[in-house]
A and B are shown apart, each in its own frame.
Chain A
Amino acid sequence: MEEEGVRMGIIVGKVEKLFKEISNWGRKNSLWAAIQPIGCCGMEMLATSTPHYDADRWGVLYFESVRRCDLIIVGGYITKKYLPRLKYVYDQMTDPTYVLAMGECAISGGPFYDSYAMVTDVDEHIPIDVHIPGCPPRPEALLDGIRELQEKIQEEGDLEGKLPEEKVEWRYEYSGEQED
C-alpha cells in the first residue's frame, strides 16, 4: 500500500483513520467550555472571552449548560467542600471531556497550599489535560493552553483511556442509581 497522505488531490489512507482525523478536527475546533471561575483567575478567564481576546476565534465558546459542554476550565482554589460539586459538574458533561487547570491554585494549591480547606491534588480527582501556570495566568496564557489542548486533541483524539472508570461510578453515586 502506498504511503498515507494527500496525493494529487486524493486522500490515501485507512478509512477509520480518516474519520478519526475528521472528528478530531471537529472536536478541537468547537470546544464548548463549562467555566469554573472560582477564584481571582476567573477574572482573566472571563476577559478571555471578551472581544479584546475573543476566545471564540479558536472555537471556544463559554456556555451555561454543562451538559452540552466538553471542556471544563478550572480556575481558582478548589476547596474540600467544593470538590464534590466539581466532580458533579465534570460528571455531567459530554464525553470526551477535556480539562484545563488554570492557575497555581488549581494545579497545586498555590498561595493557599497550607490552608486546611484546600485540595492540593485536583489531578487525583479529575484528569487534567493541560496545566496553565501563573497567578493568575494572563488571557494570552489561557489561549496558549487552549491551543496546546487542541494540538493534543488532534494527535490523540478523545485522549483514549483518559475517561476514568470512576467517572461511571460517580454517575451512579450521584444519581442514586444502582449498577446492575
Chain B
Amino acid sequence: MENKKTRELMDKLEEYSIEKDKEGKIKVDKNNLKNICKTAIENEFDRLSSLTAVDYKDYMEVVYHLGSYEHKEVLVVKVKVDKEDPKVPTVSDIWSYANWYEREVWEMFGIDFKDNSDLRKLLLPEEIDGNPLRKEYPIGGRE
C-alpha cells in the first residue's frame, strides 16, 4: 500500500489536532509544530528536505517536507501564518541546516522565525528592500 508509513505517522500525530488530506499533507497549528517534528523524527521521518513558503494573498503558509530515507516517503507539513504578523517557531535547533532555509524564507517572504538569532540576508543584496516573493511586491522592483 502506498504511503503506508506516512499514514501511520499521521495517525500518531492525531493528538496535535492536525488537519489531513489523502495525499499525505497535514495542516498544523504553529504551536504544535515542534512537537510534530520531534514525533516525526522518532518515526524515522528525520530529514528536513525542504522548507519554503507560499503567499495566498490573504494568508501565508510555511511548508515543511519531512523525508525518510528508511521508508522512502515524504510527509508534508503546512503551517498557516498571518500576513500582518507572520511568526513561526524555528526548527533550526532541531535541524541545524534549517537555518539557511529559514534565512531564505525570511528575506523572501518576511516571515519571522522566532528564536532564530541568525536571521541575516542570504541571497539578496543589501540594497533590496521588502520581500520580493510576496504578492504585493511591485513587479521588477519598480514602483
Residues of chain A whose beta carbon lies under 8 Å from any beta carbon of chain B:
80-81, 113-118, 120
Contact = CB atoms under 8 A, between A and B. Distances in A.
B132 A117 contact: yes
A120 B140 CA distance: 10
A81 B125 contact: yes
A8 to B, nearest CB: 63
Given A80-B127, A120-B140, 9 more contacts: A80-B128, A81-B124, A81-B125, A113-B140, A114-B140, A115-B140, A116-B132, A116-B140, A117-B132
Contacts of B128: 80, 116-117
Interface in B104-135: 123-125, 127-128, 132
B95 interface: no
Contacts of B139: 114
A114 B123 CA distance: 18
A117 B139 CA distance: 10
B139 to A, nearest CB: 5
A109 B125 CA distance: 18
Contact of B137 (A116, A118, A120): A116
Contacts of A81: 123-125
Nearest to B138: A116
Nearest to A109: B140
A120 B123 CA distance: 19
A2 B99 CA distance: 78
20 contacts: A80-B125, A80-B127, A80-B128, A81-B123, A81-B124, A81-B125, A113-B140, A114-B139, A114-B140, A115-B140, A116-B128, A116-B132, A116-B137, A116-B140, A116-B141, A117-B124, A117-B128, A117-B132, A118-B140, A120-B140
A124 to B, nearest CB: 15
Contacts of A120: 140
Nearest to B108: A116
Contacts of A116: 128, 132, 137, 140-141
Contacts of A80: 125, 127-128
Contacts of B127: 80
Nearest to B133: A116
Interface string B37-64: 0000000000000000000000000000
Contacts of B137: 116
Identify the interface centre among B128, B139, B141: most chain A CB within 10 Å of its CB.
Answer: B141
Nearest to B125: A81
Nearest to B140: A114
A116 B141 CA distance: 5
A32 B128 CA distance: 35
A157 to B, nearest CB: 37
Contacts of B125: 80-81
A115 B140 CA distance: 5
B103 to A, nearest CB: 15
Nearest to A79: B125
B86 to A, nearest CB: 19
